[in-house]
Structure 1
Amino acid sequence: MVFSEGHGRGAGESSPVGNVSLLRPAEQFFDEMLAGWSMQQTSRMLAAQTIKTRAAQVRRFADFCGTSPWEWSPTDVEEWTTSLVSGARPLAVSTVRAYQNALALFCDYLTDHRYGWADRCVEAFGTHPVQVCHEWNTVVHTSDHESRPAVRPLTRVELQAFFDYADELVDRARSSGRKGWLTLFRDATLFKMIYAFGLRRREVAMLDLPDFTRNPKGWEFGRFGVCNVRWGKAMKGSPPRRRAVLAVFDWTRPVIEEYVTEVRPRFGLADASILWPTERQGRIRLDHIDDRFADWRDDLGLDPVVHPHCLRHSYVTHLIEDGFDPLFVQQQVGHRWGSTTALYTGVSGDYRNRTLRRALDAAFTAPTVEEG
């Protein structure tokens, strides 16, 4: 097909000079659409990773359909969604929504008359793209918290057993002279830091040694009094949110200090800042964190639904049980709303009973009357 000069084009597209025939018009059209959409999002100052992820999600949908955007229909969305939630490893509701949202935004861009894609598609292919996502075939966001009900904080006994098992594996490998003891030690410390500071997987994986600083009000923790999180969960395409998490457990300093001074240097660091280096000098991967946790969890016979994020739930729960102010806990984990923190909290029955007993005693115990 041939384009004439001066034809209106979508934002961010490269315009063919003169009359130039495209070798693969459908494929090149799709690439130009994605490029234009990326530039539109960049103009809105969205994070580069958000833009990249959305484009990948749209391409995943296109690969599933095997057709071009101007041929998509609502039925394609429904079949795709069904495939995402089927099989041995169905995606979470929040993940499915993110995929659908990316697709809907892309279709909004294509059908906006200001970018001229509809007219170009009609001229080139005799049809045009439509919005294929609507209120009847997409996930409705009804709750701020959509994790599976079975996902829960670990009890203190389970948590101690998990950490003890990790330490046992390290000691066993170290005493036998196995090289793998370094990575076992690293991973055991990493899981302890997830719990010690209530971190998400990505937050802990992206930590650098300089991210730890002193807390002038917490001299007991030395240089590890504050964990400065640089890769917090982003909101609506914004850059990662930052927060400073204060150390609260007395065992935090000796655990991280031993790893930093005695174990981490043995990796032969090419990048002196990375906190969790691999043997190939890279940064630890999220899927490795998942796999390692799953192996140790299964060895201990814990519920298969438990995953690394449960350590963050445990952190919130145990701080609340220990009497920390809910607002302090909310700020520590970086939640915008206290209701989200409350949903992370799974206090034990014993804690609830003790709390109830204190309230009942205060309400129904008659005050002592002094004899005059």
Structure 2
Amino acid sequence: MADAGDLAGSSHLVLLPGVTHLDPASAVFEAMLAGWALQQRTRFLKAETISSRLRLARRVAEFVNEYPWQWQSADVEAFIDSCRNRREPIAVSTARLYETTLRMFLQYVSDPRYGWTVECLARFGVAPAQLLHEWNTIVHVTDYEGDPRRRPLTYGEVQALFDAADGHVEDIRARGCKGGLAAMRDAALLKTIYAFGLRRREACGLDLADLRHNPKVSAFGRYGGVFVRWGKSSRGSPPKRRTVLTVPEMDWIVAVLEQWLDDIRPAFGVGAHPALWVTERASRISMRRIDEAFTTARDAAGLEPTLSLHCLRHSYVTHLVEFDYPEKFVSTQVGHTYAATTAIYTGVSDEYRNRLLRRALSRHPELSESQ
């Protein structure tokens, strides 16, 4: 078993002994952050995740105007409160993320195995401590803490979105402007995202080789499903993989993909490029461009500006439930480990609930109206 002092992120690994610093406090703080970053890299966390956590620690230090070993509970609480009281206050989910991040940072610097408590006591006479506990952090009482205006689209709204995307193509053609091919690509892309319940990163990461034949449904040809290789990762794991099958209710996507691959994509002149979705510059489409495609169609359709691309994924989950697919099947299709996560995405319509109610009442005729 390795010595505790050899743990990645230990103080002696990032703060060399015997070195005299002009500003010891600043040097120790920077070494703390470097050590925390090292500790997280050994857990294979994403670089952007680590960077965002370090930025938050710096923000708190700047707000408090003290170093972590000098922080008090009231200081961290005041920082969260200041984020709530600005012109655009943070959401509850963001506040929870801040608290969780700061709790992890304070756990790291106060863990005696990493040596920071001894280092700070020797240099400054005070050691860092855990300041965030159950009694001064947000209580988790609901599964979903996002913007309540974010919701699944109704069938009519999905159709309006697609009609607007197709209409954008016709408008460009009528005006004789450039961009017709890109508009056709965007329309096909949005339909594919909905038809397979894809995340933005999953959609732009698709390659031609990810189209799958389903021997159980030969009529769909090579479009019997898509192999997602860039699923959401967690806790430093590689991207999760899954195969999303084409469901009969979404069989219209077969014709959409056929037109994209046979007629539209070749006109981009990308040659042997492996990506399914490409740009005029013969490159893979970016996540920003996918967002822009949705925003353009959403605004043209007159839908609420709070609706985002991810709402198409919510819509897919909801509509599969309304098509009476089992919960486990829906969770597998969208790559959820827990059914509770799928339930958060679900917002079944009144029509569906009334249909279930009528089905239940048919088994109990004595409860039905007699007149």
Secondary structure of residue in 2 paired with 1:227: strand
- Distance in 1, matches of 2:134 and 2:337, equals 27
- Distance in 2, matches of 1:83 and 1:40, equals 29
Map of 1:274 onto structure 2: 275
- Distance in 2, matches of 1:220 and 1:83, equals 58
Secondary structure of residue in 2 paired with 1:241: coil
Secondary structure of residue in 2 paired with 1:231: coil
Q: CA deviation at 1:163?
A: 0.5
- Distance in 1, matches of 2:89 and 2:287, equals 19
Confirm whether residue 326 of structure 1 aligns to residue 334 of structure 2.
no
Map of 1:243 onto structure 2: 242
1:1-372 alignment, distance < 5 Å: 11=10, 14=13, 19-23=18-22, 25-46=24-45, 50-87=49-86, 89-248=88-247, 249-269=250-270, 272-279=273-280, 283-364=284-365
Q: CA deviation at 1:78?
A: 2.4
25-34 or 155-164: which moved more? 25-34
- Distance in 1, matches of 2:280 and 2:60, equals 36
* Mapped contact 1:214–1:225 kept (Cα < 8 A): yes
Q: CA deviation at 1:250?
A: 1.0
Question: What's the RMSD between the two structures over aligned residues?
Answer: 3.2
* Mapped contact 2:70–2:128 kept (Cα < 8 A): yes
192-201 or 337-346: which moved more? 337-346
**Identity in percent:** 49
Map of 1:370 onto structure 2: none
Q: CA deviation at 1:317?
A: 1.7
- Residues 223 and 84 of structure 1: CA distance in aligned 2, closer, same or farther (over 3 Å): farther
Secondary structure of residue in 2 paired with 1:244: strand
Q: CA deviation at 1:156?
A: 0.8
158-167 or 222-231: which moved more? 222-231
What residue ranges of structure 2 are gaps of 5+ in the alignment?
367-371
- Distance in 1, matches of 2:75 and 2:269, equals 51
Q: CA deviation at 1:60?
A: 4.3
Q: TM-score, normalised by structure 2?
A: 0.83
- Distance in 2, matches of 1:84 and 1:222, equals 53
- Distance in 1, matches of 2:80 and 2:281, equals 38
- Distance in 2, matches of 1:282 and 1:273, equals 10
Matched length: 360
- Distance in 2, matches of 1:18 and 1:347, equals 62
- Paired residue type of 1:341: T
- Residues 272 and 352 of structure 1: CA distance in aligned 2, closer, same or farther (over 3 Å): same
* Mapped contact 2:229–2:242 kept (Cα < 8 A): yes
11-20 or 77-86: which moved more? 11-20
Map of 2:369 onto structure 1: none
Secondary structure of residue in 1 paired with 2:242: strand
* Mapped contact 1:107–1:132 kept (Cα < 8 A): yes
Q: What whole-Å deviation, never above 9, does each CA across 1:187-213 have from its counterpart, x for those lacking one?
A: 322221221111222322333332222
- Distance in 1, matches of 2:117 and 2:11, equals 16
201-210 or 260-269: which moved more? 260-269
- Distance in 2, matches of 1:25 and 1:97, equals 32
* Mapped contact 2:8–2:35 kept (Cα < 8 A): no
Q: CA deviation at 1:23?
A: 5.0
- Distance in 1, matches of 2:83 and 2:272, equals 38
- Residues 136 and 289 of structure 1: CA distance in aligned 2, closer, same or farther (over 3 Å): farther
- Distance in 2, matches of 1:269 and 1:13, equals 52
- Distance in 2, matches of 1:26 and 1:257, equals 63
* Mapped contact 1:10–1:117 kept (Cα < 8 A): no
- Distance in 2, matches of 1:312 and 1:336, equals 16
Q: CA deviation at 1:111?
A: 0.6
- Distance in 2, matches of 1:218 and 1:23, equals 72
- Distance in 1, matches of 2:254 and 2:87, equals 41
Choose between structure 1 and 2: higher helix proportion.
2
Q: CA deviation at 1:170?
A: 1.6
- Residues 132 and 205 of structure 1: CA distance in aligned 2, closer, same or farther (over 3 Å): farther
Secondary structure of residue in 1 paired with 2:348: coil
111-120 or 162-171: which moved more? 111-120
Secondary structure of residue in 1 paired with 2:134: coil
* Mapped contact 1:71–1:129 kept (Cα < 8 A): yes
- Residues 357 and 98 of structure 1: CA distance in aligned 2, closer, same or farther (over 3 Å): same
- Residues 141 and 35 of structure 1: CA distance in aligned 2, closer, same or farther (over 3 Å): same
- Distance in 1, matches of 2:315 and 2:194, equals 7
- Distance in 2, matches of 1:339 and 1:129, equals 37
- Residues 18 and 107 of structure 1: CA distance in aligned 2, closer, same or farther (over 3 Å): closer
61-70 or 169-178: which moved more? 61-70
Q: TM-score, normalised by structure 1?
A: 0.83
Q: CA deviation at 1:165?
A: 0.4
- Residues 208 and 32 of structure 1: CA distance in aligned 2, closer, same or farther (over 3 Å): farther
- Residues 268 and 359 of structure 1: CA distance in aligned 2, closer, same or farther (over 3 Å): same
* Mapped contact 1:207–1:274 kept (Cα < 8 A): yes
- Paired residue type of 1:318: H
